[in-house]
Amino acid sequence: MTETTEIKKGLAGVVVDYTAISKVNPDTNSLLYRGYPVQDLAASKSFEEVALLLWTGELPTQIELTDFIAAERAGRALASNVKAAIDLLPLDCHPMDVGRTAVSVLGANHALAEDSSPEAEFIKAKELFAAFPAVVAYDQRRRRGLSVVEPREDLDYSQNFLWMTFGEEAAPEVVDAFRVSMVLYAEHSFNASTFTARVVTSTLSDLHSAVTAAIGALKGPLHGGANEAVMHTFQEIGIDKNESREDAAARAKAWMEQALAAKKKVMGFGHRVYKHGDSRVPTMKAALDKMVAYYDRGELLGLYDGLETAMDEAKAIKPNLDYPAGPTYHLMGFDTDMFTPIFIASRIVGWTAHIAEQRASNALIRPLSAYNGPEQRAL
């Protein structure tokens, strides 16, 4: 085997494999899940239906959906050793560390952990989907010194997620914005965390190991961690509920101009694949607009507009999905560092769909490197 000398830093522009799960088209700013435009799915389908679509390739029949919903509702409670493991973690560790640990324990618990048949993998994917919201809710509540709220089987996925987190039933508008975010975050081809899951799977390792590794990749601010970084930016600029939208926009614009002059990277903007705008942003921004109206917090849109305009004027770089998602979760009442764990809950679907696809047509993922260290020398 000869070494290639053509280096593709960050694998930019490299096509690594086929996928039938989603199609990201940067020329048309579009995203298809198994052929369906994501904005159409977000307009009319539950997250549960979208999950089944991504896993199986087709929207479920009514019977399939009913069966899945029943199993999902029955599988929401946290195992006692997952709670115990979370309780052992410091309250000031990052919640992504909690999510990563919880998935690891769920893997160790699983009777089918080492069974990678398609049937076993599908069972594990569905169980992880059902169990993970309770991890986020449990951790959010323990950080606030609040007692656990048990799941309710009369609520759908999004309603129950918000119920377990806040201990009250969320308004339909809020549930819907949350559902939209779950649909939009679910899948995005060979992004860094999904690729990580595929690398781990390619060694014939198990599903929970692949998801645990993917969580590590998602945590970084160049990837999923950007949704919380967006809120940190808003907080650094300063949030004043009584400020007018125009004044907030002016302050945000000035902040961005300074940040760019200082050559800072501002999280929530830019994308490796989309260069003219992220396909999901218009749908998520519409959900954010509804939340701003619901909570009467126009000044947040001032900050949003000011940063976006200044970035566009200076560098023509567009927002990515994390930009509208961050303030949406803030308005719903989540602590900022819980935003990326919410992303995990959704992306579990995409990761596990890719794990299945990788297994079905596996080749060990092992690229080459060009050596640029010292020449051979004598000891």
Ligand X SMILES: CC(=O)SCCNC(=O)CCNC(=O)[C@H](O)C(C)(C)COP(=O)(O)OP(=O)(O)OC[C@H]1O[C@@H](n2cnc3c(N)ncnc32)[C@H](O)[C@@H]1OP(=O)(O)O
Residue selected from 191, 212, 227, 233 as contacting ligand OAA according to rule CB under 6 A: 191
Is 271 catalytic? The answer is: yes
Rounded to a whole number of angstroms, the minimum distance from the CB of residue 200 to ligand OAA is 17
Task: State the residue number with the nearest CB to ligand OAA.
Answer: 191
Our CB check for ligand OAA shows the closer of 15 and 262 to be 15
Q: Which does 330 bind (CB under 5 to 8 A by kind): ligand OAA, ligand X, none?
A: none
Residues 110, 223, 330, 354: which is the catalytic one? 223
To the query of whether residue 289 is one of the catalytic residues in this protein, the response is no
Is 272 or 290 the residue whose CB approaches ligand X more closely? 272
Contact positions with ligand OAA (CB under 6 A) in 311-340: 320-321
Under rule CB under 6 A, residue 272 binds ligand OAA? yes
CB of 145 to ligand OAA, least distance (A): 33
* CA dihedral angle for residue 170, residue 171, residue 175, residue 177, rounded to 10 degrees: -130
Answer yes or no: are the C-beta atoms of 327 and 107 closer than 8 Å: no
With CB under 6 A as the contact rule, the residue among 89, 120, 146, 273 that binds ligand OAA is: 273
**Total residues at interface with ligand OAA (CB under 6 A):** 7
166 touches which of ligand X, ligand OAA, none (CB within 5 to 8 A by kind)?
none
89 binds ligand OAA per the rule CB under 6 A: no
Which of the residues 322, 330, 337, 354 is marked catalytic?
322
> Token pair for residue 39?
């904005």
Residue among 110, 188, 208, 271 flagged as catalytic:
271
Which range binds ligand OAA by CB under 6 A, 48-56, 81-89, 174-182, 268-276?
268-276
- With CB under 6 A as the contact rule, the residue among 45, 100, 110, 188 that binds ligand OAA is 188
**Binding stretches for ligand X (CB under 6 A):** 10, 221-224, 226, 265-272, 315, 317, 320-322
Q: Is 220 among the residues that bind ligand OAA (CB under 6 A)? A: no
Examine the residue annotation and report whether 223 is marked as an active-site residue of this protein. yes
Tell me: does residue 198 bind ligand OAA (CB under 6 A).
Answer: no
- Closer to ligand OAA by CB, 138 or 195: give it: 195
Q: Please say which residue, 69 or 281, places its beta carbon nearer to ligand X.
A: 281
Would you count residue 94 as binding ligand OAA (CB under 6 A)? no
Rounded to whole angstroms, the Cα distance separating 226 from 271 reads: 11
Q: How far apart are CA 188 and CA 131, in angstroms?
A: 22
What is the rounded distance in angstroms from the CA atom of residue 340 to the CA atom of residue 223? 10
Binding site for ligand OAA (CB under 6 A): 188, 191, 271-273, 320-321
Q: Which active-site residues does the annotation give?
A: 223, 271, 322
